Amino acid sequence: MTRAEWDPENLPDLSGRSYLVTGATRGLGYFACEQLAAAGAHVLLTGRNPHSLSAAKAAVKRSTPDAAIETLLLDTSNMGSVRAAAATARARGRLDGLLLNAGVVHPPKQRETVGGHELVFATNVLGHFALAGELLKPLAAARGRMVWVGSMSTSLWRHLPTDPELREGYTPWKAYVQSKAATTALALEADKMLRAHGVPVESLVAHPGYSTSGRTRGVRGVNEPSRLTRFLDNLQAPITQSKEQGAWALVRALVDPYAEGGSMYGPALVARGAPRRATPARGTRSGDLGTELWRACETATHVKWPFERARRAAS
């Protein structure tokens, strides 16, 4: 395979590699697990609901009977759950990559987590910041990679996370777009920090375009959209793709040997298409935003990334 070539349906052999995926119970996270497992990787499927996790595991096994997969309970909105899952993941050994995918798009009425944080920011951003920090040492030992998941919505709506928990002017959509601008800015900031501290871990960002359940093949227990959803999603066919295709950019960012830290991947036609290099929305590239968010995440999660220990773990 050369630098320019990439066939998302024919991945390089990933035998011996191990990946952890958040939000693996449905959508992009599930299909990313399927694709990684089919390429021979060991995959740790994580999710907040044990029944959904069992269903997802069974579905991956149906698609790749000899898949090397395990499951782990992890609710990204809950710091206790993040710490416990990270401890278990560390004990399970090698870790080549983290796909920080879990996300809430349409938040429930309950706006706060048990820890008192705004729910969308906690789920999409804080949990992933804490998880990546907690798993930095094993990632560094494997000279691995982390992929944060952004969204093309950050290029369409300029909702920058200057007030990340939206103490003022909350709307569900603003909370969502802000959270995705935050994951993008943090991915870029993390890459800078990792380089500055000499830690051999790359941080990238990927977005799936516009990927809908109704345009995705049915998978028992994982993707079972109603007829109405199929009908409505198909009306948008020219500007959408399946979640399976949406996962391509996330998986490429995670495993393409030529992908570089600090870069972004997304569909060629922005909303759909083959996975290609993409450009993060302008506001998310501001170093000041990245630095401020980093501090806000450290304060909110009480997690400081162990750069020195990670560097030593890699040497």
Ligand X SMILES: NC(=O)c1ccc[n+]([C@@H]2O[C@H](COP(=O)([O-])OP(=O)(O)OC[C@H]3O[C@@H](n4cnc5c(N)ncnc54)[C@H](OP(=O)(O)O)[C@@H]3O)[C@@H](O)[C@H]2O)c1
Query: Closer CB to ligand X, residue 1 or residue 114?
Result: 114
Separation of alpha carbons 245 and 249, rounded Å: 8
Q: Assess 280 for contact with ligand X (CB under 6 A).
A: no
Separation of alpha carbons 276 and 19, rounded Å: 21
CA trace torsion 231, 102, 73, 118 (10° rounding): -110
Do 199 and 136 meet the contact criterion of CB atoms below 8 Å apart? yes
Minimum gap (Å) between residue 256 Cβ and ligand X: 19
Residue 89, both tokens = 């993941």
Stretch that binds ligand X, among 6-14, 82-90, 131-139, 208-216 (CB under 6 A): 208-216
Minimum gap (Å) between residue 145 Cβ and ligand X: 17
Closest residue by Cα to residue 88 from 144, 44, 147: 44
Q: Which residue is nearest to ligand X (CB)?
A: 27
Query: Closer CB to ligand X, residue 124 or residue 142?
Result: 124
Do 229 and 240 meet the contact criterion of CB atoms below 8 Å apart? no
> Where are the extended beta strands (E) located within the chain?
18-21, 42-47, 68-73, 97-100, 145-149, 202-206, 211-212, 241-242, 264-267, 275-278
Taking CB under 6 A as the criterion, which residues in 149-168 touch ligand X?
A: 149, 151
List beta partners, residue 147.
99, 204
Q: Assess 131 for contact with ligand X (CB under 6 A).
A: no
Separation of alpha carbons 151 and 278, rounded Å: 11
Minimum gap (Å) between residue 213 Cβ and ligand X: 6
Stretch that binds ligand X, among 13-21, 42-50, 163-171, 192-200 (CB under 6 A): 42-50
Stretch that binds ligand X, among 202-210, 231-239, 259-267, 295-303 (CB under 6 A): 202-210
Q: Assess 77 for contact with ligand X (CB under 6 A).
A: yes
Q: Assess 246 for contact with ligand X (CB under 6 A).
A: yes
Separation of alpha carbons 105 and 208, rounded Å: 14
Work out whether strand 42-47 and strand 68-73 pair parallel, antiparallel, or are unpaired.
parallel
Residue 72, both tokens = 């782990």
Stretch that binds ligand X, among 23-31, 85-93, 272-280, 301-309 (CB under 6 A): 23-31
Query: Closer CB to ligand X, residue 3 or residue 106?
Result: 106
Draw the binding track, 213-232, toward ligand X (x: CB under 6 A; -: no contact).
Answer: --------------------
Minimum gap (Å) between residue 221 Cβ and ligand X: 11
Q: Which of 19, 21, 29, 133 binds ligand X (CB under 6 A)?
A: 29
Stretch that binds ligand X, among 75-83, 85-93, 163-171, 262-270 (CB under 6 A): 75-83
Taking CB under 6 A as the criterion, which residues in 86-125 touch ligand X?
A: 101-105, 123-124
Q: What are phi and psi of 19, to 5 degrees?
A: -130, 145
DSSP string, 66-80: T-EEEEEE--TT-HH
Minimum gap (Å) between residue 216 Cβ and ligand X: 9
Separation of alpha carbons 230 and 224, rounded Å: 10
Query: Closer CB to ligand X, residue 127 or residue 261?
Result: 127
Separation of alpha carbons 249 and 261, rounded Å: 15
Residues in touch with ligand X (CB under 6 A): 22-23, 25-29, 47-49, 52, 74-77, 101-105, 123-124, 149, 151, 180, 207-208, 210-211, 243, 246
